[in-house]
Amino acid sequence: MPRTPSRRTVLRGLTVTGAAVAGFDPAARGWAADASGTDASGTDGRLAGTPRLDGTLTRDDAALGAASDDYGHIVHHRPAAVLRPGSVRDVVAMVRFCNEHSVPVAPRGQGHSPFGQAQVPGGLVVETATLADIGPVGPDSTTVTVGAGARWSEVAGATLAHGLTPPVFTDYIELSVGGTLSVGGLGGQAHRYGAQVDNVTELRVVTGAGELVRCSPSRRPDLFHAVLAGLGQCGIIVEATLRLVPAPRTVRHYHLAYDDLGTFLDDQRLLVQEGRFDYVEGQVAADADGAFRAYTLEAVAYGPPVGPAPDDATLLRGLRHTPSGVRYEDRSYLDFLDRLAPFVAMLKETGLWTYAHPWLNLMVPGASAAAVSAPLLDALTPADLGPGVVLFYPLLRERLTTPLLRSSDEPVSYLFDILSAIPPDDTAAVDRRLAANRSAYEAVASVGGTQYPVGSVPFTRADWRTHFGPAWPALEAAKRRYDPRRILVPGQGVF
Ligand SMILES: Cc1cc2nc3c(=O)[nH]c(=O)nc-3n(C[C@H](O)[C@H](O)[C@H](O)COP(=O)(O)OP(=O)(O)OC[C@H]3O[C@@H](n4cnc5c(N)ncnc54)[C@H](O)[C@@H]3O)c2cc1C
Protein backbone atom coordinates (compact mmCIF):
# COMPACT_ATOMS: atom_id res chain seq x y z
CA MET A 1 0.00 0.00 0.00
CA PRO A 2 1.23 3.51 -0.72
CA ARG A 3 2.38 5.21 2.46
CA THR A 4 1.56 8.74 3.52
CA PRO A 5 4.08 11.36 2.38
CA SER A 6 4.88 12.35 5.96
CA ARG A 7 6.55 8.96 6.49
CA ARG A 8 8.67 9.14 3.38
CA THR A 9 12.14 10.21 2.49
CA VAL A 10 12.89 10.67 -1.18
CA LEU A 11 16.20 9.24 -2.38
CA ARG A 12 17.06 9.96 -5.97
CA GLY A 13 13.66 9.02 -7.31
CA LEU A 14 12.93 6.15 -4.96
CA THR A 15 10.66 6.78 -2.02
CA VAL A 16 11.56 4.96 1.17
CA THR A 17 10.64 5.33 4.78
CA GLY A 18 11.64 4.42 8.29
CA ALA A 19 14.38 2.11 9.50
CA ALA A 20 13.65 -1.35 8.16
CA VAL A 21 11.99 -2.38 4.94
CA ALA A 22 8.42 -3.54 5.23
CA GLY A 23 7.34 -3.36 1.65
CA PHE A 24 7.61 -1.81 -1.74
CA ASP A 25 5.35 0.97 -2.86
CA PRO A 26 4.70 0.26 -6.53
CA ALA A 27 2.93 3.59 -7.05
CA ALA A 28 5.83 5.59 -5.69
CA ARG A 29 8.48 3.06 -6.82
CA GLY A 30 10.02 2.93 -3.37
CA TRP A 31 10.63 0.75 -0.33
CA ALA A 32 8.65 1.50 2.77
CA ALA A 33 9.79 0.83 6.31
CA ASP A 34 8.12 -1.31 8.87
CA ALA A 35 6.72 1.03 11.52
CA SER A 36 8.11 -1.27 14.21
CA GLY A 37 11.62 -0.78 12.88
CA THR A 38 12.23 -4.52 12.67
CA ASP A 39 13.50 -6.08 9.51
CA ALA A 40 11.31 -7.41 6.81
CA SER A 41 11.98 -11.11 6.98
CA GLY A 42 8.95 -13.00 8.06
CA THR A 43 6.56 -10.10 7.57
CA ASP A 44 3.51 -10.94 5.55
CA GLY A 45 0.47 -9.49 3.83
CA ARG A 46 1.36 -5.94 4.79
CA LEU A 47 4.06 -6.10 2.18
CA ALA A 48 3.33 -4.57 -1.14
CA GLY A 49 4.89 -7.44 -2.98
CA THR A 50 8.30 -7.61 -1.30
CA PRO A 51 9.25 -11.28 -1.35
CA ARG A 52 9.34 -13.37 1.78
CA LEU A 53 13.01 -13.84 2.69
CA ASP A 54 15.24 -16.22 4.63
CA GLY A 55 17.55 -13.32 5.44
CA THR A 56 16.95 -9.63 6.08
CA LEU A 57 16.22 -6.57 4.04
CA THR A 58 17.06 -3.47 5.97
CA ARG A 59 17.50 0.24 5.66
CA ASP A 60 18.78 1.10 9.08
CA ASP A 61 21.21 3.95 9.10
CA ALA A 62 24.28 1.88 9.86
CA ALA A 63 23.61 -0.51 6.97
CA LEU A 64 22.89 2.27 4.47
CA GLY A 65 25.84 4.32 5.71
CA ALA A 66 28.23 1.39 5.28
CA ALA A 67 26.85 0.65 1.81
CA SER A 68 27.38 4.31 0.83
CA ASP A 69 31.12 4.07 1.45
CA ASP A 70 33.98 1.88 0.30
CA TYR A 71 37.73 1.51 0.61
CA GLY A 72 38.23 4.65 -1.48
CA HIS A 73 36.14 7.01 0.72
CA ILE A 74 35.75 9.23 -2.34
CA VAL A 75 32.31 8.33 -3.73
CA HIS A 76 29.22 8.15 -1.53
CA HIS A 77 25.88 6.97 -2.92
CA ARG A 78 23.17 5.93 -0.51
CA PRO A 79 21.13 2.88 -1.46
CA ALA A 80 17.48 2.55 -0.49
CA ALA A 81 17.94 -0.82 1.16
CA VAL A 82 20.46 -3.55 1.91
CA LEU A 83 19.80 -7.26 1.50
CA ARG A 84 21.63 -9.68 3.77
CA PRO A 85 20.58 -12.87 2.04
CA GLY A 86 19.85 -15.94 4.11
CA SER A 87 20.00 -18.05 0.96
CA VAL A 88 20.60 -17.93 -2.77
CA ARG A 89 16.81 -17.99 -3.05
CA ASP A 90 16.75 -14.55 -1.42
CA VAL A 91 19.05 -13.14 -4.09
CA VAL A 92 16.88 -14.62 -6.81
CA ALA A 93 13.69 -13.28 -5.23
CA MET A 94 14.99 -9.76 -4.68
CA VAL A 95 16.68 -9.45 -8.07
CA ARG A 96 13.48 -10.60 -9.74
CA PHE A 97 11.59 -8.09 -7.71
CA CYS A 98 14.00 -5.27 -8.55
CA ASN A 99 13.96 -6.24 -12.22
CA GLU A 100 10.18 -6.05 -12.24
CA HIS A 101 10.26 -2.56 -10.72
CA SER A 102 13.43 -1.40 -12.54
CA VAL A 103 15.27 -0.82 -9.28
CA PRO A 104 19.08 -0.86 -9.61
CA VAL A 105 21.03 -3.53 -7.73
CA ALA A 106 24.68 -4.04 -6.82
CA PRO A 107 26.30 -6.95 -5.05
CA ARG A 108 28.91 -5.99 -2.48
CA GLY A 109 31.59 -8.39 -1.27
CA GLN A 110 34.07 -6.72 1.06
CA GLY A 111 33.48 -3.24 -0.37
CA HIS A 112 37.18 -2.83 -1.17
CA SER A 113 36.51 -1.05 -4.44
CA PRO A 114 37.85 2.48 -4.24
CA PHE A 115 35.52 4.47 -6.50
CA GLY A 116 31.88 3.59 -5.84
CA GLN A 117 31.90 0.45 -7.99
CA ALA A 118 29.67 -1.47 -5.53
CA GLN A 119 27.40 1.47 -4.67
CA VAL A 120 23.93 2.02 -6.04
CA PRO A 121 22.12 5.30 -5.44
CA GLY A 122 18.53 4.66 -4.40
CA GLY A 123 18.75 0.97 -5.18
CA LEU A 124 19.45 -2.33 -3.48
CA VAL A 125 22.85 -3.44 -2.24
CA VAL A 126 23.18 -7.21 -1.86
CA GLU A 127 25.80 -7.99 0.75
CA THR A 128 27.24 -11.34 -0.21
CA ALA A 129 29.13 -11.99 3.04
CA THR A 130 26.38 -14.33 4.26
CA LEU A 131 26.84 -16.55 1.19
CA ALA A 132 30.19 -17.91 2.30
CA ASP A 133 29.86 -21.70 2.46
CA ILE A 134 32.95 -23.62 1.44
CA GLY A 135 32.21 -27.02 -0.06
CA PRO A 136 33.94 -30.25 0.84
CA VAL A 137 37.63 -30.64 0.06
CA GLY A 138 39.59 -33.88 0.25
CA PRO A 139 43.23 -34.68 -0.47
CA ASP A 140 42.36 -35.67 -4.06
CA SER A 141 40.10 -32.72 -4.85
CA THR A 142 40.86 -30.83 -8.02
CA THR A 143 38.27 -28.15 -7.33
CA VAL A 144 36.32 -26.60 -4.46
CA THR A 145 32.93 -24.91 -4.66
CA VAL A 146 32.54 -21.79 -2.53
CA GLY A 147 29.93 -19.13 -1.87
CA ALA A 148 30.70 -15.80 -3.54
CA GLY A 149 30.93 -14.04 -0.21
CA ALA A 150 33.73 -16.29 1.08
CA ARG A 151 37.02 -14.48 1.54
CA TRP A 152 40.14 -15.89 -0.10
CA SER A 153 41.72 -16.28 3.35
CA GLU A 154 38.86 -18.63 4.28
CA VAL A 155 39.23 -20.57 1.05
CA ALA A 156 42.98 -20.93 1.70
CA GLY A 157 42.33 -22.12 5.25
CA ALA A 158 39.91 -24.80 4.07
CA THR A 159 42.03 -26.12 1.22
CA LEU A 160 45.44 -25.96 2.89
CA ALA A 161 44.14 -28.35 5.51
CA HIS A 162 44.33 -30.91 2.67
CA GLY A 163 47.61 -29.75 1.15
CA LEU A 164 45.79 -27.95 -1.70
CA THR A 165 45.46 -24.33 -2.78
CA PRO A 166 43.90 -22.15 -5.43
CA PRO A 167 46.83 -21.36 -7.71
CA VAL A 168 46.57 -17.54 -7.68
CA PHE A 169 45.99 -15.10 -4.84
CA THR A 170 45.64 -11.37 -4.67
CA ASP A 171 48.18 -9.66 -2.43
CA TYR A 172 45.50 -9.02 0.17
CA ILE A 173 43.46 -12.13 0.89
CA GLU A 174 40.51 -10.63 2.79
CA LEU A 175 38.71 -9.84 -0.48
CA SER A 176 35.59 -11.79 -1.46
CA VAL A 177 35.69 -14.48 -4.12
CA GLY A 178 32.80 -12.80 -5.99
CA GLY A 179 34.49 -9.40 -5.75
CA THR A 180 37.77 -10.49 -7.30
CA LEU A 181 36.17 -12.79 -9.89
CA SER A 182 34.14 -9.85 -11.12
CA VAL A 183 37.36 -7.87 -11.81
CA GLY A 184 40.03 -10.48 -12.58
CA GLY A 185 42.11 -11.28 -9.51
CA LEU A 186 45.80 -10.74 -10.20
CA GLY A 187 48.78 -11.76 -8.13
CA GLY A 188 52.42 -12.72 -8.47
CA GLN A 189 51.46 -16.26 -9.52
CA ALA A 190 49.39 -15.00 -12.49
CA HIS A 191 52.35 -15.23 -14.89
CA ARG A 192 52.19 -18.99 -14.34
CA TYR A 193 48.50 -19.72 -13.88
CA GLY A 194 46.65 -16.73 -15.27
CA ALA A 195 44.37 -14.62 -13.12
CA GLN A 196 41.89 -15.98 -10.58
CA VAL A 197 39.20 -15.77 -13.29
CA ASP A 198 41.27 -18.13 -15.44
CA ASN A 199 40.99 -20.77 -12.71
CA VAL A 200 37.23 -21.08 -12.40
CA THR A 201 35.51 -24.17 -13.76
CA GLU A 202 31.87 -23.33 -13.04
CA LEU A 203 29.70 -20.55 -11.65
CA ARG A 204 26.20 -20.20 -10.29
CA VAL A 205 24.89 -16.80 -11.24
CA VAL A 206 21.72 -14.82 -10.62
CA THR A 207 21.17 -12.84 -13.80
CA GLY A 208 19.75 -9.34 -13.89
CA ALA A 209 16.43 -10.88 -14.88
CA GLY A 210 16.50 -12.92 -11.67
CA GLU A 211 17.22 -16.29 -13.24
CA LEU A 212 19.51 -18.69 -11.33
CA VAL A 213 21.87 -20.22 -13.90
CA ARG A 214 24.76 -22.66 -13.72
CA CYS A 215 27.38 -21.82 -16.33
CA SER A 216 30.83 -23.00 -17.39
CA PRO A 217 33.02 -22.94 -20.50
CA SER A 218 30.70 -25.57 -22.03
CA ARG A 219 27.33 -24.66 -20.50
CA ARG A 220 25.92 -21.22 -21.21
CA PRO A 221 29.44 -20.06 -22.11
CA ASP A 222 28.18 -16.61 -23.13
CA LEU A 223 27.09 -15.97 -19.53
CA PHE A 224 30.22 -17.55 -18.04
CA HIS A 225 32.44 -15.30 -20.14
CA ALA A 226 30.29 -12.23 -19.48
CA VAL A 227 30.47 -12.68 -15.72
CA LEU A 228 34.16 -13.45 -15.17
CA ALA A 229 35.89 -10.05 -15.03
CA GLY A 230 32.52 -8.68 -16.16
CA LEU A 231 32.23 -6.07 -13.39
CA GLY A 232 28.89 -7.45 -12.24
CA GLN A 233 27.15 -6.22 -15.39
CA CYS A 234 25.27 -9.39 -16.36
CA GLY A 235 24.85 -11.38 -13.18
CA ILE A 236 25.58 -11.77 -9.50
CA ILE A 237 27.93 -14.66 -8.81
CA VAL A 238 26.49 -16.64 -5.91
CA GLU A 239 28.82 -19.64 -6.10
CA ALA A 240 32.11 -20.43 -7.83
CA THR A 241 33.97 -23.67 -8.42
CA LEU A 242 37.69 -23.00 -8.19
CA ARG A 243 40.60 -25.06 -9.46
CA LEU A 244 43.00 -26.44 -6.85
CA VAL A 245 46.66 -27.42 -7.11
CA PRO A 246 49.09 -28.92 -4.60
CA ALA A 247 50.34 -26.36 -2.08
CA PRO A 248 53.92 -25.95 -0.96
CA ARG A 249 54.60 -26.20 2.76
CA THR A 250 57.21 -23.46 2.75
CA VAL A 251 58.47 -20.81 0.33
CA ARG A 252 61.62 -18.75 -0.09
CA HIS A 253 60.73 -15.10 -0.59
CA TYR A 254 63.47 -12.99 -2.23
CA HIS A 255 63.69 -9.20 -2.30
CA LEU A 256 66.21 -8.02 -4.90
CA ALA A 257 67.22 -4.36 -5.09
CA TYR A 258 67.72 -2.51 -8.40
CA ASP A 259 68.80 1.04 -9.11
CA ASP A 260 67.73 1.22 -12.75
CA LEU A 261 64.16 0.99 -14.05
CA GLY A 262 65.04 -0.67 -17.37
CA THR A 263 67.19 -3.37 -15.74
CA PHE A 264 64.50 -4.04 -13.12
CA LEU A 265 61.84 -4.46 -15.80
CA ASP A 266 64.07 -6.60 -18.02
CA ASP A 267 64.86 -8.98 -15.17
CA GLN A 268 61.18 -9.25 -14.25
CA ARG A 269 60.37 -10.08 -17.86
CA LEU A 270 63.15 -12.65 -18.03
CA LEU A 271 61.90 -14.37 -14.89
CA VAL A 272 58.29 -14.69 -16.00
CA GLN A 273 59.23 -15.81 -19.50
CA GLU A 274 61.55 -18.47 -18.06
CA GLY A 275 59.11 -19.44 -15.30
CA ARG A 276 62.00 -19.71 -12.88
CA PHE A 277 59.95 -18.61 -9.87
CA ASP A 278 56.40 -19.35 -8.76
CA TYR A 279 55.62 -15.74 -7.97
CA VAL A 280 57.07 -12.49 -9.36
CA GLU A 281 56.08 -8.98 -8.35
CA GLY A 282 57.92 -5.75 -7.63
CA GLN A 283 57.71 -2.38 -5.95
CA VAL A 284 59.09 1.10 -6.49
CA ALA A 285 59.87 3.27 -3.46
CA ALA A 286 61.23 6.77 -2.97
CA ASP A 287 64.98 7.03 -2.40
CA ALA A 288 66.62 9.35 0.14
CA ASP A 289 65.99 12.31 -2.20
CA GLY A 290 62.27 11.54 -2.46
CA ALA A 291 62.60 10.31 -6.07
CA PHE A 292 60.87 7.07 -7.02
CA ARG A 293 64.02 5.26 -8.09
CA ALA A 294 64.41 2.41 -5.59
CA TYR A 295 63.20 -0.77 -7.25
CA THR A 296 62.64 -4.10 -5.50
CA LEU A 297 61.96 -7.27 -7.43
CA GLU A 298 60.05 -9.77 -5.31
CA ALA A 299 60.35 -13.40 -6.32
CA VAL A 300 59.15 -16.48 -4.52
CA ALA A 301 60.21 -20.09 -5.02
CA TYR A 302 57.88 -22.76 -3.69
CA GLY A 303 59.50 -25.56 -1.70
CA PRO A 304 58.45 -29.22 -1.36
CA PRO A 305 56.21 -30.90 -2.30
CA VAL A 306 55.71 -28.45 -5.22
CA GLY A 307 59.30 -27.54 -5.99
CA PRO A 308 62.81 -28.61 -4.94
CA ALA A 309 64.46 -27.12 -1.87
CA PRO A 310 65.38 -23.63 -3.13
CA ASP A 311 68.94 -23.16 -4.33
CA ASP A 312 70.09 -19.53 -4.35
CA ALA A 313 72.76 -19.96 -7.00
CA THR A 314 70.31 -21.53 -9.45
CA LEU A 315 67.45 -19.16 -8.72
CA LEU A 316 69.47 -15.93 -8.88
CA ARG A 317 71.72 -16.88 -11.80
CA GLY A 318 72.33 -14.00 -14.23
CA LEU A 319 70.11 -11.47 -12.47
CA ARG A 320 71.37 -7.90 -12.45
CA HIS A 321 70.25 -6.61 -9.06
CA THR A 322 72.73 -4.49 -7.08
CA PRO A 323 75.47 -6.72 -5.66
CA SER A 324 74.51 -6.21 -2.02
CA GLY A 325 70.81 -6.02 -2.71
CA VAL A 326 69.68 -9.57 -1.92
CA ARG A 327 67.53 -10.45 1.04
CA TYR A 328 65.29 -13.43 1.56
CA GLU A 329 63.23 -15.18 4.17
CA ASP A 330 61.89 -18.71 4.38
CA ARG A 331 58.32 -18.79 5.60
CA SER A 332 55.28 -21.02 5.62
CA TYR A 333 53.09 -20.80 2.54
CA LEU A 334 50.11 -19.49 4.52
CA ASP A 335 52.27 -16.89 6.22
CA PHE A 336 53.43 -15.81 2.76
CA LEU A 337 49.85 -15.59 1.42
CA ASP A 338 48.82 -13.57 4.46
CA ARG A 339 51.93 -11.38 4.42
CA LEU A 340 49.98 -8.11 4.36
CA ALA A 341 48.10 -8.87 7.59
CA PRO A 342 50.59 -7.15 9.96
CA PHE A 343 50.80 -4.12 7.65
CA VAL A 344 47.01 -3.85 7.42
CA ALA A 345 46.73 -4.21 11.21
CA MET A 346 49.16 -1.32 11.59
CA LEU A 347 47.20 0.81 9.05
CA LYS A 348 43.98 0.12 10.94
CA GLU A 349 45.52 0.87 14.32
CA THR A 350 46.95 4.19 13.16
CA GLY A 351 43.82 5.26 11.27
CA LEU A 352 45.61 5.19 7.89
CA TRP A 353 43.30 2.46 6.58
CA THR A 354 40.49 5.03 6.47
CA TYR A 355 42.46 7.42 4.26
CA ALA A 356 41.08 8.14 0.79
CA HIS A 357 42.46 5.77 -1.87
CA PRO A 358 42.48 7.35 -5.33
CA TRP A 359 44.17 4.26 -6.78
CA LEU A 360 45.66 3.93 -10.23
CA ASN A 361 46.05 0.47 -11.76
CA LEU A 362 47.35 0.28 -15.31
CA MET A 363 48.08 -2.50 -17.76
CA VAL A 364 51.12 -1.22 -19.65
CA PRO A 365 52.34 -2.92 -22.85
CA GLY A 366 55.77 -4.44 -22.21
CA ALA A 367 57.63 -2.61 -24.98
CA SER A 368 56.52 0.80 -23.67
CA ALA A 369 56.69 0.03 -19.96
CA ALA A 370 59.83 2.01 -19.13
CA ALA A 371 59.03 4.92 -21.46
CA VAL A 372 55.47 5.33 -20.18
CA SER A 373 56.11 4.78 -16.49
CA ALA A 374 59.30 6.83 -16.10
CA PRO A 375 57.57 10.24 -16.44
CA LEU A 376 54.77 9.08 -14.13
CA LEU A 377 57.31 8.05 -11.51
CA ASP A 378 59.28 11.28 -12.02
CA ALA A 379 56.14 13.32 -11.40
CA LEU A 380 55.20 11.39 -8.27
CA THR A 381 56.13 12.82 -4.87
CA PRO A 382 56.11 11.03 -1.51
CA ALA A 383 53.25 13.35 -0.49
CA ASP A 384 51.19 12.22 -3.52
CA LEU A 385 51.64 8.60 -2.49
CA GLY A 386 51.24 9.05 1.28
CA PRO A 387 51.40 5.73 3.14
CA GLY A 388 50.68 3.89 -0.12
CA VAL A 389 52.77 1.75 -2.46
CA VAL A 390 53.85 1.58 -6.09
CA LEU A 391 53.71 -1.89 -7.63
CA PHE A 392 55.13 -3.05 -10.93
CA TYR A 393 55.01 -6.58 -12.25
CA PRO A 394 54.79 -8.51 -15.49
CA LEU A 395 52.00 -10.69 -16.83
CA LEU A 396 52.09 -13.06 -19.78
CA ARG A 397 49.41 -12.55 -22.42
CA GLU A 398 49.18 -16.28 -23.16
CA ARG A 399 48.12 -17.03 -19.58
CA LEU A 400 45.31 -14.45 -19.46
CA THR A 401 42.53 -16.26 -21.26
CA THR A 402 39.39 -14.61 -19.85
CA PRO A 403 38.02 -12.37 -22.62
CA LEU A 404 36.89 -9.50 -20.38
CA LEU A 405 40.15 -9.23 -18.45
CA ARG A 406 41.93 -6.78 -20.69
CA SER A 407 45.68 -6.27 -20.86
CA SER A 408 47.55 -5.37 -24.05
CA ASP A 409 48.16 -7.36 -27.22
CA GLU A 410 51.85 -7.71 -26.47
CA PRO A 411 53.22 -10.98 -25.07
CA VAL A 412 54.13 -9.22 -21.82
CA SER A 413 52.17 -6.47 -20.08
CA TYR A 414 53.08 -4.89 -16.78
CA LEU A 415 50.60 -4.18 -14.03
CA PHE A 416 51.71 -0.74 -12.83
CA ASP A 417 49.90 0.50 -9.73
CA ILE A 418 50.23 3.82 -7.91
CA LEU A 419 48.22 3.11 -4.75
CA SER A 420 47.95 6.47 -3.02
CA ALA A 421 46.53 7.05 0.45
CA ILE A 422 45.51 10.61 1.27
CA PRO A 423 43.83 12.17 4.33
CA PRO A 424 40.14 12.00 3.40
CA ASP A 425 39.48 15.67 4.16
CA ASP A 426 42.18 16.79 1.70
CA THR A 427 39.76 16.80 -1.20
CA ALA A 428 42.05 19.01 -3.31
CA ALA A 429 44.79 16.37 -3.11
CA VAL A 430 42.30 13.61 -3.95
CA ASP A 431 41.10 15.59 -6.97
CA ARG A 432 44.68 16.11 -8.11
CA ARG A 433 45.30 12.36 -7.95
CA LEU A 434 42.10 11.63 -9.87
CA ALA A 435 43.17 14.05 -12.61
CA ALA A 436 46.66 12.51 -12.63
CA ASN A 437 45.08 9.04 -12.86
CA ARG A 438 43.08 10.09 -15.86
CA SER A 439 46.06 11.51 -17.73
CA ALA A 440 48.17 8.45 -16.84
CA TYR A 441 45.41 6.23 -18.26
CA GLU A 442 45.39 8.29 -21.46
CA ALA A 443 49.17 7.98 -21.80
CA VAL A 444 48.94 4.20 -21.44
CA ALA A 445 45.90 3.90 -23.72
CA SER A 446 47.78 5.83 -26.43
CA VAL A 447 50.35 2.99 -26.60
CA GLY A 448 47.80 0.17 -26.54
CA GLY A 449 47.43 -0.39 -22.79
CA THR A 450 44.46 0.11 -20.52
CA GLN A 451 43.53 0.17 -16.84
CA TYR A 452 42.99 -2.80 -14.55
CA PRO A 453 39.55 -1.69 -13.37
CA VAL A 454 39.97 -1.83 -9.60
CA GLY A 455 41.03 1.77 -9.19
CA SER A 456 39.80 5.34 -9.28
CA VAL A 457 40.08 6.44 -12.88
CA PRO A 458 37.33 8.73 -14.17
CA PHE A 459 35.92 6.71 -17.09
CA THR A 460 33.16 7.37 -19.62
CA ARG A 461 30.95 4.83 -21.38
CA ALA A 462 33.01 5.43 -24.51
CA ASP A 463 36.16 4.60 -22.53
CA TRP A 464 34.62 1.28 -21.49
CA ARG A 465 33.95 0.41 -25.11
CA THR A 466 37.59 1.12 -25.92
CA HIS A 467 38.70 -0.76 -22.84
CA PHE A 468 36.83 -3.95 -23.72
CA GLY A 469 37.81 -3.66 -27.39
CA PRO A 470 37.06 -6.89 -29.28
CA ALA A 471 35.26 -8.29 -26.21
CA TRP A 472 32.71 -5.46 -26.20
CA PRO A 473 30.11 -6.91 -28.64
CA ALA A 474 29.80 -10.14 -26.62
CA LEU A 475 29.46 -8.20 -23.37
CA GLU A 476 26.84 -5.93 -24.87
CA ALA A 477 24.89 -8.92 -26.23
CA ALA A 478 25.06 -10.68 -22.85
CA LYS A 479 23.87 -7.50 -21.13
CA ARG A 480 20.87 -7.36 -23.45
CA ARG A 481 20.09 -11.01 -22.83
CA TYR A 482 20.77 -11.35 -19.11
CA ASP A 483 20.11 -7.89 -17.70
CA PRO A 484 17.60 -6.45 -20.17
CA ARG A 485 16.48 -3.68 -17.83
CA ARG A 486 20.05 -2.72 -17.03
CA ILE A 487 19.55 -2.85 -13.30
CA LEU A 488 22.92 -4.37 -12.36
CA VAL A 489 25.89 -2.51 -10.96
CA PRO A 490 25.50 1.06 -12.22
CA GLY A 491 28.50 2.12 -10.09
CA GLN A 492 30.87 0.77 -12.74
CA GLY A 493 29.42 3.19 -15.31
CA VAL A 494 29.75 0.67 -18.15
CA PHE A 495 26.21 0.84 -19.60
C1 LIG B 1 44.10 -3.66 0.15
C2 LIG B 1 43.71 -4.15 -1.23
C3 LIG B 1 44.56 -4.99 -1.92
C4 LIG B 1 44.20 -5.44 -3.19
N5 LIG B 1 45.06 -6.28 -3.85
C6 LIG B 1 44.73 -6.76 -5.07
C7 LIG B 1 45.58 -7.66 -5.76
O8 LIG B 1 46.65 -8.02 -5.29
N9 LIG B 1 45.16 -8.12 -6.96
C10 LIG B 1 43.96 -7.76 -7.50
O11 LIG B 1 43.62 -8.25 -8.57
N12 LIG B 1 43.16 -6.90 -6.89
C13 LIG B 1 43.51 -6.37 -5.68
N14 LIG B 1 42.68 -5.48 -5.06
C15 LIG B 1 41.48 -5.03 -5.76
C16 LIG B 1 40.35 -5.98 -5.50
O17 LIG B 1 40.58 -7.23 -6.11
C18 LIG B 1 39.01 -5.46 -6.09
O19 LIG B 1 38.74 -4.17 -5.67
C20 LIG B 1 37.87 -6.40 -5.69
O21 LIG B 1 36.76 -6.13 -6.50
C22 LIG B 1 37.52 -6.22 -4.23
O23 LIG B 1 36.78 -7.30 -3.75
P24 LIG B 1 35.53 -7.00 -2.82
O25 LIG B 1 35.06 -8.28 -2.29
O26 LIG B 1 35.85 -5.95 -1.82
O27 LIG B 1 34.55 -6.44 -3.92
P28 LIG B 1 33.53 -5.21 -3.87
O29 LIG B 1 34.30 -3.94 -3.74
O30 LIG B 1 32.52 -5.47 -2.86
O31 LIG B 1 32.90 -5.30 -5.33
C32 LIG B 1 33.70 -5.04 -6.46
C33 LIG B 1 32.83 -4.99 -7.71
O34 LIG B 1 32.37 -6.29 -8.01
C35 LIG B 1 30.97 -6.38 -7.92
N36 LIG B 1 30.71 -7.63 -7.20
C37 LIG B 1 30.96 -7.92 -5.91
N38 LIG B 1 30.56 -9.16 -5.62
C39 LIG B 1 30.05 -9.68 -6.77
C40 LIG B 1 29.46 -10.91 -7.10
N41 LIG B 1 29.29 -11.87 -6.20
N42 LIG B 1 29.03 -11.09 -8.37
C43 LIG B 1 29.18 -10.13 -9.31
N44 LIG B 1 29.72 -8.93 -9.04
C45 LIG B 1 30.16 -8.70 -7.78
C46 LIG B 1 30.54 -5.16 -7.12
O47 LIG B 1 29.23 -4.74 -7.43
C48 LIG B 1 31.56 -4.15 -7.56
O49 LIG B 1 31.22 -3.60 -8.80
C50 LIG B 1 43.00 -5.01 -3.79
C51 LIG B 1 42.16 -4.15 -3.10
C52 LIG B 1 42.50 -3.72 -1.82
C53 LIG B 1 41.61 -2.77 -1.10
pLDDT digits (tens, 9 = 90+) for 437-463: 999 999 999 999 999 999 999 999 999
Cα(147) to centroid(ligand 1), Å: 15
pLDDT at 38: 39
Q: What share of the chain is helix, strand, coil (3-state, %, to 5)?
A: 30, 25, 45
Cα(163) to centroid(ligand 1), Å: 26
Which of the four pLDDT bands, split at 50, 70 and 90, describes residue 46?
very low
pLDDT digits (tens, 9 = 90+) for 61-82: 999 999 999 999 999 999 999 9
Rounded mean pLDDT of 313-332?
Answer: 97
Supply the angle between the helices 472-482 and 461-468 in degrees, to the nearest 10: 120
Closest Cα to atom 27 of ligand 1: 179
The DSSP bridge partners found for residue 33 are 21
Query: Which of 192, 211, 246 delimits the end of a domain?
Result: 246
- Is there a domain that residue 449 lies in? yes
User: Is residue 14 over pLDDT 50?
Assistant: no
Mean pLDDT of the chain: 92
Same domain, 292 and 329: yes
Query: Which of 108, 130, 152 delimits the end of a domain?
Result: 130
- Bond preceding residue 323 cis, omega within 30 of 0: no
pLDDT digits (tens, 9 = 90+) for 92-133: 999 999 999 999 999 999 999 999 999 999 999 999 999 999
pLDDT at 29: 63
Residue from 100, 171, 266, 335 carrying the catalytic annotation: 171
Query: Could you give the count of Cα atoms lying within 13 Å of 153 in the half-sphere of its Cβ?
Result: 12
User: Is residue 289 over pLDDT 50?
Assistant: yes
- Is there a domain that residue 137 lies in? no
Residue from 25, 77, 112, 357 carrying the catalytic annotation: 112
Q: What is the CATH number of the domain that holds 283?
A: 3.40.462.10
Rounded mean pLDDT of 314-320?
Answer: 97
Cα(357) to centroid(ligand 1), Å: 14
Q: Give the span between the Cα atoms of 128 and 431, in whole angstroms.
A: 31
171 is catalytic: yes
Substitution site in 130, 173, 183, 198 for ligand 1 pocket (most atoms within 8 Å of beta carbon): 183
Q: Which domain, by its residues, includes 105?
A: 5-130
Q: Give the span between the Cα atoms of 303 and 288, in whole angstroms.
A: 36
Q: CA nearest 95: which of 256, 209, 251?
A: 209
Give Cα separations from 335 to 3, 156, 170, 339 (angstroms): 55, 11, 14, 6
Domains of the chain: total: 3
Q: CA nearest 300: which of 318, 276, 320?
A: 276
Substitution site in 68, 69, 91, 172 for ligand 1 pocket (most atoms within 8 Å of beta carbon): 172
Same domain, 153 and 272: no
Number of separate helices (H) and strands (E) present in the chain? 15, 22
Query: Which of 97, 130, 163 delimits the end of a domain?
Result: 130
Q: What is the CATH number of the domain that holds 187?
A: 3.30.465.10
pLDDT at 50: 80
Which of the four pLDDT bands, split at 50, 70 and 90, describes residue 25?
low
Q: CA nearest 303: which of 325, 274, 277, 269?
A: 277
Cα(186) to centroid(ligand 1), Å: 11
User: Is residue 474 over pLDDT 60?
Assistant: yes
Which of the four pLDDT bands, split at 50, 70 and 90, describes residue 5?
very low
409 is catalytic: no
Rounded mean pLDDT of 359-379?
Answer: 97
Cα(492) to centroid(ligand 1), Å: 12
Q: Spell out which residues line ligand 1, taking CB within 6 angstroms.
A: 71, 106-113, 117-118, 128, 148, 170-172, 175-176, 178-180, 182-187, 231-232, 236-237, 454, 489, 491-492
User: Is residue 15 over pLDDT 60?
Assistant: no
Contact (Cβ atoms closer than 8 angstroms) between residue 5 and residue 17: no
- Is there a domain that residue 136 lies in? no
Burial 33-54 (b: 16+ CB within 10 A, else e): bbeeeebbbebeeebbebeebe
Q: What is the CATH number of the domain that holds 124?
A: 3.30.43.10
39 is catalytic: no
Same domain, 79 and 17: yes
Rounded mean pLDDT of 490-494?
Answer: 98
